Structures are given as C-alpha cells and as structure tokens.
Amino acid sequence: MILCTSKDKDFENYKERISIRKVFFTIKEIFKDHWDDYQTKYSHIKRRPIINIVIDKFLCL
C-alpha cells in the first residue's frame, strides 16, 4: 500500500478514505486513476507493445 498525507497533491481526491490523517490506496487504483493521463502525456515516447498489453490486463482484473 501507498501512504498519502495531506501534503500530497492528490489528497483531496482520496479524502473520504482518511484514517488518522492517512490515506491508503493500491497500486491498481493509482494505475486506474493515472494511466490514461500518462499515455497521453508521454505519447511521444516509444514503448514496447507488451507494456500496454500487460497494463490493460492488470487493470481488467
């Protein structure tokens, strides 16, 4: 799990999950929230096709 505090820029997004001023979320949630943005932002960088295949499978589980 990843720890997120009030100093994190995405803290407001996870506010409802606060437990003693800490927010926990999984790696899968991070990918779901940011994978599309990442692909758009770094579309100019060539990646091996298997990377997209693996990430897509991971997100569908």
Cβ neighbors of 15 (< 8 A, separation 6 or more) are 23
Burial (CB count within 10 angstroms: exposed 0-12, middle 13-18, buried 19+), residue 47: exposed
- pLDDT per position as a tens digit, 10-61: 777 766 666 556 666 788 888 888 999 999 999 999 999 999 999 999 998 7
Query: Domain map of the chain by residue range?
Result: 2-60
Predicted model pTM: 0.57
What pLDDT score does 8 carry?
A: 73
